[in-house]
Amino acid sequence: MKTFFPLLFFAILLISFKAAKTSSALTTQNLKAIDTNSLVNAGKVWAALYQQRAAEYKALCFQAYNIARERIDRAVKKHSKKPYAVITDIDETLLDNSPYDAQRALHNLDYDSKTWKQWTAKAIADTVPGAPSFFKYAASKGVKIFYITNRDEDERTATLTNLQLYHLPNADDAHLLLRQGSSSKESRRLQVLLKYNIILLCGDNLPDFDALYDNKPSEESRRAVTEKLRKEFGKRYIVIPNPSYGDFEGALFKFNYKLTPAQKDSVIRSLIKTSPF
């Protein structure tokens, strides 16, 4: 017994030292990766961290879906010739894909469709705070939910599996409208409008709401349209924060997806406001 405890103590020290060394190596590796990242990808790491960890992000999502719930309550009190519906985007509005964004950004890699589809095929994305309870609440009031997304047709099965994982209402083929050629969602919105009275549209990217945001408008045009539609936000349009990606990013680079990381960094430096000292 006298020799056992010193040996045990030494073994614990050795394991602790190795664990600390491994942890230090991983931290150094991650720091080096971030240090060599482009401004875009370094920003995406920070954005993913905000989405995953910030209570403020959760509060903003709760705020948006609380307003949406109030709109549902007001709408269903009124008579409608057509049944009511809510249209929602999926990614970053209902499902949280920040692990994918973070993984790519930490390795200084841009989005690509192959790895994106490998991620969506897993059907394990978590939900955006407040989203499942809101859509279930809307369904309990007799409101149909339509999922309009720019995921591709070959993502259909995995997308439904991911939605069904959280027992989301109307998570079936009839209510899932995927991209069919054009990325514009206008024709799909009109398709729903033929048979339903649309109470709300939920999204994280402004083209989720109105065709005025289609056709790759400039930053100035996007701001002008937003000013024109200002009364719709919080009324018919429910916006979920997404600092990681979207048309806001495309507009910065004039939708030129062939820019190198260095070229993107140059654009960012030319646009960002900084203090004079």
> How large is the average pLDDT for residues 8-23?
39
Distance CA 224, CA 247 (A): 15
- Least confident range from 21-30, 202-211, 232-241: namely 21-30
Domains (ranges, CATH) in the chain?
Answer: 38-268 (3.40.50.1000)
Convert the pLDDT of each residue in 183-220 to its tens digit: 999 999 999 999 999 999 999 999 999 999 999 999 99
- Residue-by-residue DSSP string for 5-40: HHHHHHHHHHHHHHHHHHHHHHHHHHHHHHHTS-HH
Intra-chain end-to-end CA distance of the chain, in Å: 67
Answer whether 125's CB lies under 8 Å from 137's CB. Answer: no
Residues 6+ apart with CB under 8 A from 6: none
Which residue in 27, 205, 30, 53 sits closest to 105, CA to CA?
A: 30
pLDDT value of residue 37: 87
